[in-house]
Amino acid sequence: MTPSLGVCYYPEHWPEETWAEDAAHMVRLGLSWVRIGEFAWSRMEPEPGDLRLDWLDRATETLGAAGLKVILGTPTATPPRWMIDKHPDMLAVDANGQPRKFGSRRHYCFSHAGYRDESARIVAILARRYGANPHVAAWQTDNEYGCHDTVLSYSDPARRAFRIWLAARYDSIEALNAAWANVFWSMDYRSFDEIDLPNLTVTEPNPAHVMAFRRFSSDQVIQYNRMQAEILRAHTDAPLIHNYMGRITEFDHYEVGEDLDIASWDSYPIGFLSDRLEASDAHKQAFLRQGDPDMQAFHHDIYRRVGKGRWWVMEQQPGPVNWAPYNPAPLPGMVRLWTWEAFAHGAETVSYFRWRQAPFAQEQMHAGLLRPNRTEAEASAELRQVAEEIAELGDVEPARARVALIFDYPSAWAWETQPQGADFDYFRLVFAFYKALRSCGLTIDILPARAPDIAGYDLVLAPGLMEVGAPFVEALQAQNGLVVLGPRAGHKTDEMATILPEPCPISELGGALLLVESVPPSEVIPLQGGGAFCHWVERVAATETVAERTVAGDPAVLRKDGLAYLCGWPDAPALGRMLRAWCAERDVPTLALPEGLRLRDTATHRFVFNYSAVPLTWDGTQIPPAGVHWEMRK
Amino acid sequence: MTPSLGVCYYPEHWPEETWAEDAAHMVRLGLSWVRIGEFAWSRMEPEPGDLRLDWLDRATETLGAAGLKVILGTPTATPPRWMIDKHPDMLAVDANGQPRKFGSRRHYCFSHAGYRDESARIVAILARRYGANPHVAAWQTDNEYGCHDTVLSYSDPARRAFRIWLAARYDSIEALNAAWANVFWSMDYRSFDEIDLPNLTVTEPNPAHVMAFRRFSSDQVIQYNRMQAEILRAHTDAPLIHNYMGRITEFDHYEVGEDLDIASWDSYPIGFLSDRLEASDAHKQAFLRQGDPDMQAFHHDIYRRVGKGRWWVMEQQPGPVNWAPYNPAPLPGMVRLWTWEAFAHGAETVSYFRWRQAPFAQEQMHAGLLRPNRTEAEASAELRQVAEEIAELGDVEPARARVALIFDYPSAWAWETQPQGADFDYFRLVFAFYKALRSCGLTIDILPARAPDIAGYDLVLAPGLMEVGAPFVEALQAQNGLVVLGPRAGHKTDEMATILPEPCPISELGGALLLVESVPPSEVIPLQGGGAFCHWVERVAATETVAERTVAGDPAVLRKDGLAYLCGWPDAPALGRMLRAWCAERDVPTLALPEGLRLRDTATHRFVFNYSAVPLTWDGTQIPPAGVHWEMRK
Amino acid sequence: MTPSLGVCYYPEHWPEETWAEDAAHMVRLGLSWVRIGEFAWSRMEPEPGDLRLDWLDRATETLGAAGLKVILGTPTATPPRWMIDKHPDMLAVDANGQPRKFGSRRHYCFSHAGYRDESARIVAILARRYGANPHVAAWQTDNEYGCHDTVLSYSDPARRAFRIWLAARYDSIEALNAAWANVFWSMDYRSFDEIDLPNLTVTEPNPAHVMAFRRFSSDQVIQYNRMQAEILRAHTDAPLIHNYMGRITEFDHYEVGEDLDIASWDSYPIGFLSDRLEASDAHKQAFLRQGDPDMQAFHHDIYRRVGKGRWWVMEQQPGPVNWAPYNPAPLPGMVRLWTWEAFAHGAETVSYFRWRQAPFAQEQMHAGLLRPNRTEAEASAELRQVAEEIAELGDVEPARARVALIFDYPSAWAWETQPQGADFDYFRLVFAFYKALRSCGLTIDILPARAPDIAGYDLVLAPGLMEVGAPFVEALQAQNGLVVLGPRAGHKTDEMATILPEPCPISELGGALLLVESVPPSEVIPLQGGGAFCHWVERVAATETVAERTVAGDPAVLRKDGLAYLCGWPDAPALGRMLRAWCAERDVPTLALPEGLRLRDTATHRFVFNYSAVPLTWDGTQIPPAGVHWEMRK
Ligand SMILES: [Zn+2]
Ligand SMILES: [Zn+2]
Ligand SMILES: [Zn+2]
């Protein structure tokens, strides 16, 4: 597969007489894809039923005629103002009970039937008109589900839909009361109609209640996207794509991905380091203009699996953005580095956001490939270089990794529902494992927990997997490599209850869970082998299967044959040490990379990336800051 | 009095066939009390009027037959879901105007007449049925009044009740306008019906208005509890108890205590250090698994007075809990230490929360004496040891202390209403005095400010007592020991106005208050004798009565005969020095204890507790971490 | 002009029999002005239409008979409780949609027509009754517009008024859609009635929408004040004054000032340092009891221009206040220093808040010239000294400064609307420039950006001036001195769009803006000449006009003839260095003052102020802490 480049474009923002030159310029830069349409509903249908698609016809034709392939977005993330008049209760409601008003974007509740019908209507109109258009080579559904915290809505329509969802999940209200153990604080219900959304309670609501609401909320996104996908499928053979975001865990991306052909995501390395990563000040300073060295790769690997192997970067940060706490410019070379890193992880296409920086409205401080005055911005030269390098390098085929890491959305909800420590977060835990693996120079696959194909991996890690369901257990039993579970793996049922009766992973390993502790950052529990547990530790009774102990003598790692269990959250030194030992056991070679240096193996090449702001040496080769190096795999 | 042990039990959570074995197991562990019923309303009355108390009959009988004494709780902290349908406006409303919804517990407003009637109804039903039951040896009213910030409610029923309360307090609206000085910003009212609750005002409301609302809110709790107590008294001779919480100051516990026989409180040392104590990071780290060395004792001493001498720990933390920011496990031995410390302060009974850890719902991460799988958790061995030690030691009779400290709930409200410094808090001030006294090895009584029996104490301290009322003044005059007032003592009238005309304590000592300062933590005012004032300092004009001055030469302590006044908030060094001097004057022996070591004298024994994580030496005896030592008083 | 002294007085707070003695005492202290009436509506009109002004007649007569000149305040900042019954929707609504209730002050929305009519009615009543009263020598409109965040209101009346305002500003809804570029996210409107206020949107609203709301909100204050001024003018020849606050930027003070005769402000140096200044902990500690050395002067210079040369301090802090996070007492001498500093900046009158400390209500902890018991508080002696010194010194005439600094309210709104960095703030930027100028010993004039009379200044600085409008450009062209623009100057149109097509200041200097960066406090961009850019840097392409470069080689300062442009936010070392160079170029002498020492030149005198807590030496003269020194100008 030869990688390709693209860009996001808004013909409705610019005079029609400039479209042709824009298209020609895109082609000159080496771009082959252009995404349009996803925010243009008010120009497609300025009054209810008054469709104005002639401009979109012409834009598609102009871009297509220039040789570009169009990705057409459904405009449902930005319903026009008149939609609110038709459906005043379509707005999502926040956890404090406030409607989230018109005036920006994503102002809809996934549970509102009227808006779902309106969405179906506009999608059908576009599908019928452009489904067979030769220039429309892909479709995007909506835009960034979940961005701006828009999955959870506490609206009346959401409450009604939740009750229906609960009635379908539980046979009877008695079954629900039993499953949630509503006896606990006299929380029993007499009918599904008595159940409210779990916000604004006096103290914490029942975690089973919260978890049900989280599952429901994810399902609403899945259903909404499926509705769009089914309509599009009826009219087009082009692949269907959604552009996911970074560190959004409120819906199950794997399930949304099942209904689409390609996963894509919107990669803003500098903004994400600034606004959504736990990291020391020193780390944030060291990578201020580069982004965290593992954040992009982590998402690349998630979305490769979400896309069942096919994935893109739909929006690549090309320069300073407008929405992070601070918005520095990328170090020269970083746009090229980010692009090549995506390709090294198997991306088919990297598309930049956006073509020309808007001189108006919310994102006027967000860089584009062109400046507002249409001169080429800094990133243009870098992607021109990438286009040339692609031509030289040719195909980049991803290899299956030898190491797999489980990332499970329901576990993220479970950790949020019942964190037990003030700074606990499932993404943080799994990302720490990912970072430790990458520090060892490993190439990684990320897998879901349901029915994962873990056979054949040398090492499978499933930190924090709250519920270890039957499919995963079956898959484990079929596994030949080493599977490492824990901390906190298999502790809960799918109703967010403590697993009881056993078995759980600990009992499988001949142990018994005595108690768990959460501790503040100032407290660590040192391990005999070096490093320590931090944040979370489980006190376990076990004898024969104890593979490692804490300095205090408590079991720290249980191990029997191909199954290991971690009785705590290991810090980076402990985790690196363990990973290297486990890999050695399976003859998986490891390295000890400095934090700025990262690598990724494809079937044919090894790519090396220098995320740091100083030159670093790789295997005798000096790689400059923001430098990319590749070599044939030995 | 021989101390006894108990436990909190939820028969409705467990299969009935396990009750008898649970009861037998309790007895084997040395427990004699078991509390039940307080959250079970939905199982007592699943539909309005459909009473199902047979299971409670059987549970009581099973427990009683095993030899346990039952404490029966009224279930009013957890009204069932159907209650909200009957009384939709019974929910409390937070300061932002949001109803606090069903779905956890304590979802009621104390001012709602309909809910008060429903509460009376269920209490009467239980009282009639179990008032003479031979196994029901005590009653608990409701559960943890004020927990989850539930005293202050800004609901419509609260507003109506407040107006009625005001009309009863003031003869006329003119009297109220005058008392509050509503002239200040044209805040005059023409009738009581114009008065709103003091939330959501543009800037701060009149402190007299806030203080009235605070007094009213406390009164609503008192009335609500009195209603339950009166109903129970009509049907039972068993003692009435409420289980108070830690650092809840929103209602006057002394007044609630007047209507009950025994005070009890719920002691969670590790959780409270984490979530409700100002302390340095180093202090929180040093006592991470033990709790603050003075927090429990302070509450023991408060609740001994609230119970007019009779008090319990109703819920003792037995292991990690689920609700603090971080939830580490107690150091081995701490459960025993906490238990003995309660006995040393005069507790009749220490009861653990809870019997068996629930594997479901909100508190599934909260340890019990048994684990979810019914094996004995860590605490069980410690309380078995305590049970044996009780048998050896026999009676523990509290002695009257030689030093008294005033703790006054209205002063807490006054400090919150008008703090003058961003980090000011009355509890914090009084607790600092308590800690200083304990560092001197002193045994302390805590007293209320109204009509306190201070005669006979060698030293009485009343820091921060905003209003020094007539009963206290009278009691002072009858006092033979040394009374130390200040800082900020007697500054206000009971309408939260500046005391004017005098007399106030300062003027009694021949001084005049010139001005007051609040200062940030970075600023201190050094004293000539060592140490400094911090947070708050009063500049006072005085001559003959000046007992100590600041380094700058201003009066710091006034003194005449048996009355002293502190013109500022002393830091720990200054306070320790002063306390030792005052005690020396009265021949009260003092020590200089390290922070981890604490002692308590009873009539016959001296108890020594090592709260630290390292061994400490007491009078030649090494006491291990979490160690308890006792000796006959010399 | 000989400066005079005054005080704020509340006859309605005190027994009438004490008024005469209070008045006599004021005169003895050297006061000649007394402000009354501004919070007394409920006593002027206790029931709707029931006017009771006899007490005000007598108070005015008593004060006047004693020789005092009365400033009569309109009482519209404190509408009585009955007003809310008449106009329940008159309350302002906060950004979360909550009405801001009665119970303190400023409880009205500027857009409410009913309340505007009520205000007009009471102002007319007072104007007719006292407009010709010989003792009423000045009028104050309302009190502290904008205090307690009261300019922006999200109420229904505000929404309706905003739509009318928009309809007047834009010819058609199409024009508005185009001006705001509502195409961006399908935000197009079909009529003005569809436009909501820009709060509670899902993510950020259109900055053009926000900016329009900010302009509208400022206009509502202007209109409301103009209404009062026009009514008063019809009945009196006495000067009209408003008392502005510190660091309030929500309305355009210059425009309000156009309708009045004298500007005044309420100066609380210690409170403001504590609660509204970015400063290091060390700085806040060093000036804890003095206030920031530049904060008062900055406001003096702003309000001198707002008052078109005539200005007062209406409320001068005389001791500890009650509303800051911490409220220490002024260092002895500071009240005198603050007073003389105001005179040095041209104040006609300094008036203290308040005469006698109230022993009740919200401000009972706020010091006055008298204590609650009527003894003289600390400040009284200092102002008696000032009164004597005034008599000795005679006239103080301000000189026109040689250096001017632009302060522009719309730029403050623009920076808030689109900060681009989490800690960005326009006031902070301009104040940093002011502080740097003062550190050079310079005397400064502050000017608005619209039609400023900048001709004749040697140096004019306009940092952060987002929109450089036509009047300013014209004025620039007529300027003979050096004009320094930037950072971020002229980047936006008046619709908050990126300036396009050019010209902008950068392009005027032959440059082109490539990109902008915001960076966290940890990051700086060093300059070749020393110091660095911080917070914000603009990457500019330029060649001949580059006057200075960053260490990395990028243009840092552009310069051509009398126009310079700063491509970033200079830190204090860089700015001081540049200022000294620019001044040297124009033969404006500069000094290097320590932070505690500040000076101000009038036409005849040089005043030197020691804000520090230690003695400092000025030109051979030792000035004690809080000391004031003056000398004839050489
Ligand atoms: Zn075509
Ligand atoms: Zn029995
Ligand atoms: Zn007269």
Give residue-wise pLDDT tens across range A323-357: 999 999 999 999 999 999 999 999 999 999 999 99
pLDDT higher than 80, residue B237: yes
Domain spans of chain C?
4-150+221-393, 403-585, 604-632
Read off the pLDDT of each residue in A312-319 and give the average, rounded to a whole number.
Answer: 98
HSE (CB half, 13 Å, CA atoms) of C622? 4
pLDDT at C576 over 90: yes
Average pLDDT over residues C276-288: 96
What's the CA gap between A419 and A429, in Å, rounded?
12
The reply to whether residue A498 touches residue B319, judged by beta carbons under 8 angstroms, is no
pLDDT higher than threshold 70 for residue C68: yes
Contact B207 C82 (CB under 8 A): no
- Give the separation between CA A508 and CA A499, rounded to whole angstroms: 13
- Extract the tokens encoding A332: 């020269």
**C-alpha pair distances (Å), C598 with each of A576, B83, B453, B525:** 58, 69, 59, 28
With CA atoms as reference, report the closest residue to B450 among B409, B492, B505.
Answer: B409
Instruction: Report which of A83, A359, A366 is spatially closest to residue C187, judged by C-alpha positions.
Output: A83
The count of other CB atoms within 10 Å of the CB of residue C332 is 15
Q: How confident is the model at residue B470 (pLDDT cuts 50, 70, 90)?
A: confident
- Per-residue b or e along C528-564, where b marks 16 or more CB atoms closer than 10 Å to that residue's CB: ebebbbbbbbbbbebeebbbbebeeebbbbbbeebbb
Residues of A in contact with C502 (CB under 8 A): 373
Residue-level pLDDT at A501:
78
Of A103, A150, A367, the CB nearest to C196: A103
Q: What percent of chain C has pLDDT over 90?
A: 94
Q: How far is B359 from chain A (nearest CA, A)?
A: 5
Question: Which one of A288, A325, A373 has the shortest CB-CB distance to C523?
Answer: A288
Shortest Cα distance, chain A CAs vs residue C179, angstroms: 9
Query: Which amino acid is it at C287?
Result: F
Task: Give this prediction's pTM.
Answer: 0.97
Partner residues linked to C447 by β-bridges: C406
Cβ proximity of C295 and C242 under 8 Å: no
Name beta bridge partners: B379: none
> What pLDDT sits at residue B395?
82
Distance CA B394, CA C542 (A): 92
Neighbours of chain C (3+ CB pairs under 8 A): A, B
DSSP state of A492: B
Contact C107, B201 (CB under 8 A): yes
For residue C310 the two structure tokens come to 């005539």
Average pLDDT over residues A411-426: 97
pLDDT at C133 over 70: yes
- In CATH terms, the fold of domain A4-147+238-393 is TIM Barrel (3.20.20)
Q: Do A187 and B42 touch (CB under 8 A)?
A: yes
- Provide the pairing of β-strand A532-541 with A555-560: unpaired
Decide which of 3.40.50.880, 3.50.50.60, 3.40.50.450, 3.40.50.620 is the CATH code for C403-585. Answer: 3.40.50.880
Largest CA distance in chain C: 77
Q: Is C617 helix (H, G, I), strand (E, B) or coil?
A: strand
pLDDT at C480: 83
Q: Which residue has the higher pLDDT, A209 or A474?
A: A209
The pLDDT of B233-259, averaged and rounded, is: 98
- CA dist., res. B273 & res. B290, Å (int): 9
Tokens of C96: 């979360």
Which residue among C96, C201, C519 sits closest to A104, beta carbon to beta carbon? C201
Q: Is A105 annotated as a binding residue?
A: yes
SS3 content of chain C, % helix, strand, coil (to 5): 35, 20, 45
The H-or-E segment that residue B515 falls in is strand B512-518
Average pLDDT of span B553-572: 97
State chain B's mean pLDDT as an integer. Answer: 96
What DSSP letter does each residue of C91-157 carry, written as one string? S-B-TTS-B-BSSSS----TT-HHHHHHHHHHHHHHHHHHTT-TTEEEEE-SS-TTTTT-S---SHH
Query: DSSP alpha helices (H): ranges in B1-146?
Result: 19-29, 41-44, 54-65, 81-86, 113-130
Task: Write down the catalytic residue from A38, A315, A382, A467.
Answer: A315
Is the separation of the CB atoms in A370 and A355 below 8 Å?
yes
Taking alpha carbons only, the member of C265, C13, C36 closest to residue C138 is: C36
Mean per-residue pLDDT, C341-349:
97
Tokens of B485: 């007032």
Which residue in chain C is spatially nearest to B422 when comparing CA positions? C325
Q: Is C27 exposed, middle or buried (0-12, 13-18, 19+ CB in 10 A)?
A: middle
Query: How remote is the CA of residue C66 from the centroid of ligand 3, in Å?
Result: 9
Q: Give how far C188 is from chain A: nearest CA, Å.
A: 6
Q: Which CATH code fits B4-152+221-393?
A: 3.20.20.80
Mutation test of the interface with chain C: which of A55, A78, A104, choosing the one with the most C Cβ atoms within 10 A? A104
Ligand 3 midpoint to CA C130 (Å): 12
Which of B16, B75, B210, B391 minimizes the C-alpha distance to C364? B210
Q: Are strands B568-570 and A444-447 parallel, antiparallel or unpaired?
A: unpaired
d(CA C378, CA C335) in angstroms, rounded, equals 9
Single-letter residue type at C328: P
Residue B295 pLDDT:
98
Residue B550: predicted pLDDT: 98
B628-632: strand order across its sheet: B597-601, B605-610, B628-632
Taking alpha carbons only, the member of A431, A463, A447 closest to residue A295 is A431
The rounded distance, in Å, linking the Cα atoms of C550 and C538 is 11
Q: Is the ipTM reported for this complex over the cut 0.90? A: yes
Q: Is the pLDDT of residue B502 over 80?
A: no
Please give the distance, rounded to the nearest whole angstrom, from the Cα atom of residue C135 to the centre of ligand 3: 6
Indicate whether C453 pLDDT > 80: no
Confidence band (pLDDT; 50, 70, 90) for C568? very high
Query: If you count residue pairs, one on B and one on C, with CB atoms under 8 Å apart, how many are there?
Result: 171
Of A182, A190, A498, the CB nearest to B359: A498
Question: Which pLDDT value is given to residue B29?
Answer: 97
Helices (H) and strands (E) in chain A, counts: 19, 24
Residues in a beta bridge with C34 = C7, C70
Task: Please identify which residue in the block is written with the tokens 């100051």.
Answer: B249
| Cβ pair C101:B200 closer than 8 A | yes
Q: Tell me the ligand closest to B136's alpha carbon.
A: 2
pLDDT in the model for residue C397: 80
Residue C451 has pLDDT above 70, yes or no: no
* Lowest model confidence (mean pLDDT) among A461-470, C236-245, C468-477: C468-477
Q: Which one from A45, A144, A250, A382 is the annotated catalytic residue? A: A144
Considering C38, C118, C144, C548, which one is annotated as catalytic?
Answer: C144
Q: Do C325 and B421 touch (CB under 8 A)?
A: yes
Query: What tokens does C590 get?
Result: 């500069």
Does residue A144 carry a catalytic annotation? yes
Reported CATH class of domain C4-150+221-393: alpha beta
Shortest distance, CA B202 to any CA of chain A (angstroms)? 21
Active-site choice (C250, C255, C315, C348):
C315
Chain A residues in contact with C516 by the CB 8 A cut-off are 320, 365
Interchain pair C361, B202: CB under 8 A: no
Confidence of residue A397 (pLDDT cuts 50, 70, 90): confident
Which among B196, B421, B515 is the nearest to C102, CB-wise?
B196
Can you read off the two tokens belonging to residue C11? 């006859």
- Where residue B451 falls among pLDDT bands split at 50, 70, 90? low
Q: Is B212 helix (H, G, I), strand (E, B) or coil?
A: helix
Burial zone of B549 (CB within 10 Å; 0-12 exposed, 13-18 middle, 19+ buried): middle
Q: Which ligand is nearest to the CA of A67?
A: 1
Chain A environment of C519 (Cβ under 8 Å): 288, 326, 328
Q: Which residues of B touch A517 (CB under 8 A)?
A: 320, 327-329
User: Which of the ligands is closest to the CA of residue C134?
Assistant: 3
Give the model confidence (pLDDT) of A110-133 as tens digits.
999 999 999 999 999 999 999 999
SS3 A3: coil
Tokens linked to A113: 């039937």
Q: Please give the share of chain B, as a percent, with pLDDT higher than 70.
A: 100
* CB contacts < 8 A (A, B): 171
CA of C37 to the centre of ligand 3 (A): 17
Residue found by looking up tokens 């089973």 in the block: A208
pLDDT of residue B242 exceeding 80:
yes
pLDDT digits 0-9 by tens, B302-345: 999 999 999 999 999 999 999 999 999 999 999 999 999 999 99
What is the average per-residue pLDDT within C39-46? 98
Question: Does residue C472 have a pLDDT over 90?
Answer: no
pLDDT over threshold 90, residue C517: yes
Is it true that the peptide bond before A318 is cis, omega within 30 degrees of 0?
Answer: no
Given a contact cutoff of 8 angstroms between Cβ atoms, the answer to whether A127 and A235 are in contact is yes
Mean pLDDT value across residues A94-104: 97
Cross-chain residue pair C358–B539, CB shorter than 8 Å: no
- Tell the burial category of C268 from Cβ atoms under 10 Å away from its Cβ (0-12, 13-18, 19+): buried
Q: For the ranges A435-444, A469-478, C600-609, which has the lowest average pLDDT? A: A469-478
User: Residues with Cβ within 5 Å of ion ligand 2?
Assistant: B 61, 64
A482-485 and A563-566 strand pairing: parallel
Distance between Cα A69 and ligand 1 center (Å): 10
Q: Identify the burial level of B194 via C-beta atoms within 10 angstroms of its C-beta, where 0-12 means exposed, 13-18 middle and 19 or more buried.
A: middle
Annotated binding site of C for substrate: 105, 143, 323
CB contact under 8 A, B184 and C363: yes
CA angle A479, A485, A487 (to 5 degrees): 175
C-alpha separations of B620 from B78, B341, B616, B617, B633 in Å: 52, 21, 10, 6, 16
* Residue A96, annotated as binding a ligand: no
Residue A315 a catalytic site member = yes
- The pLDDT value recorded for residue C249 is 98
Name the residue among B98, B101, B285 with its Cβ closest to that of A522: B285
Q: For chains A and C, count residue pairs whose Cβ atoms are closer than 8 Å.
A: 170
Q: How many CB atoms lie within 10 A of CB B289?
A: 21
The two structure tokens encoding residue B361? 């719902």
Residues at the binding site of B for substrate are 105, 143, 323
**pLDDT score of A451:** 67
